[in-house]
Structure 1
């Protein structure tokens, strides 16, 4: 892979995770109005309409094998459906601080699963980048105001906190599976085709819940501004971020791509500061700098290519 392709892949991965963080921060008003599974159903429905043309099979693409069809289903099950349920429910039973600390493990989980399932050789520099990413996001979460002296007042005293923590760990594993399975899919399908089919599976999985919740929901009480925000959320979550992520994964090992997930909480915090009026302390700024240093370490060009293609490295469970 030449330098221009590598830089383009890095840009796609960075923009994808930055968009994820942005729409997560801006989705707070949506989550306050729509039930989670109804919101997911509406999101996938809008995405399906936007990507109707992407569903068409290109002339040079081979018919989908049963294995590929199964991977597409698993990609949507883990990356869309189960991740949303685990994350939202886990936060409700613990705290946002605990979620931030737990999500810091995503780069390491992606690297480990890439080594196990894709047979990728994870370079020492990538492990260093992962360590910096985990340290940065962990420091950010622990330096939040509600993680200090006021933590007792702000954290919910839930007797099911252990269950919430397990669900957050499940969300980390779901995100890691999403990256690893996505890497395998990019060897046989184009990014647009993957994005559209995965979204269609998400729509199918959420339809039973969405129809039930829609029957009991008062859509007439929703303001036009909220519908506009929903449109942006759906296009960003279902179309732009997935397409960018799959495009970047075509030319970057999944383990290296995982370091870019640190941009999710960083971009969410920046949007919260610039749009929602939240404040970022000097300690949090230092945490962001450490996390960004991890990306710099992972992507800095060296004598040898950091990108290790897995297509010729032997059989894989995926």
Structure 2
């Protein structure tokens, strides 16, 4: 197969998409030990601060990019409010209260959440397959929650709901992102979003930093924090957007299945978590919903020529 052929580029795109989503699942799972070492607001603030320093070159305006007018700045602010600030608080708090594997599976409900918000906010029409995917997503979260609560883990019920809340924050982030990519480069959008996240988190981060003993944090935890900051703000975004250059948009959603796969593998291998029947059922629901949305039937694909049907 020639190295520059369309098939080769598409395979490379698939590899980048899978790697990006696997990295998301990995850092979500590894954020659990970080929440045991740092308070949530301080942890999120340190993440944004480290990433801001690393992404300084990404702030440079490229030739042909639109100037940052009030409309763009407002969109970036709202997107960062939901996708960075609230997402980080809900995700880190939720992961500290539930298992890393459960959090990864719940995050795989993102395609269904995006479809549901598109219907509620953008008034886009949803087909039967998408409604089925939404139902599977709800069922997966219910199975996880009931499985944990019946085992005496009522504390994790709140954690699961918080992680579900961060899924909808990320869905708002995705929907608003459609307005930005036509005007700004992906790198500059990522850097600006991270700066807004840093600004929003700074008061809360400084408040918790004032009484925190930084000397008690070991080198291993600091290394894990560096990985988390760069993976969450830089590498996973770059991998995902680079993959999208070579893959049709309607194929990309299926690769979010790598998120719960990686989160579950890290949780079982490195964090010592046990995976029970509830995880398996919820994972099956997530996988089914992703496939229904990302791999539509031929008839459904043909109907999109006449109107939106996601």
Q: Do both share a fold (TM > 0.5)?
A: yes
Contact 2:95 2:103 in 1 (8 A): yes
Match of 2:66 among 62, 69, 78: 62
| Alignment match, 1:233 | 228
RMSD after superposition: 4.0
Match of 2:191?
196
Alpha-carbon shift at residue 204 of structure 1 (Å): 1.1
1:52 pairs with one of 52, 56, 70: 56
Superposed CA deviations along residues 83-142 of structure 1, whole A, max 9, x for unmatched, are 2334455677x8669978976764433112223444544444444444444444543454
| Structure 2 residue ranges without an equivalent (≥5) | 1-5
Distance 2:16 2:300 in 1: 19
Partner of residue 316, structure 1: none
Task: Assess if the C-alpha contact under 8 Å between 1:100 and 1:141 holds in 2.
Answer: no
Q: For the Cα contact (< 8 Å) 1:30–1:230, is it kept in 2?
A: yes
Residue correspondence of structure 1 range 1-318 to structure 2 within 5 A: 14-89=18-93, 106-118=110-122, 120-143=124-147, 146-148=148-150, 150-151=151-152, 154-156=153-155, 170-245=165-240, 252=249, 263-282=258-277, 284-300=279-295, 303=298, 306=301
Residues 140, 288 of structure 1: 8 Å contact kept:
no
CA distance in structure 1 between the aligned counterparts of 2:264 and 2:142, rounded to whole angstroms = 14
For residue 45 of structure 1, report the CA deviation from its aligned partner.
Answer: 0.9
The Cα shift of 1:274 comes to 2.0
Cα distance change, pair 221–208 in 1 and its aligned pair in 2 (3 A): same
Structure 1 unmatched ranges of 5 or more: 314-318
Tell me by how many angstroms 1:156 deviates.
3.9
Instruction: Report if the CA contact (8 A) 1:186-1:246 is conserved.
Output: no
Compute the displacement of 1:193 (Å): 1.1
Separation (CA, whole Å) in 1 of partners of 2:266 and 2:201: 28
Distance 2:19 2:211 in 1: 37
Output one character per residue of 1:191-213: Cα deviation in whole Å (capped at 9) or x when no partner: 11111110111111112222232
User: TM-score with structure 1 length normalisation?
Assistant: 0.75
Per-residue CA distance 1:205-253 (angstroms, 9 max, x = gap):
1122222322322222211111110110001111123344556678637
Q: Deviations over 1:262-293 (max 9, x none)?
A: 65444322211122222223553354234223
- The Cα shift of 1:30 comes to 1.3
Per the TM alignment, residue 260 of structure 1 is displaced from its structure 2 partner at its CA by: 6.0
The 1:107–1:4 alpha-carbon spacing in structure 2 relative to 1, beyond 3 Å, is same
Deviation, 1:177, is 0.9
Looking at structure 2, the residues matched to 99 and 206 of structure 1 have their Cα atoms a distance apart, in angstroms, of 22
CA contact (8 A) 1:44 1:200 kept: yes
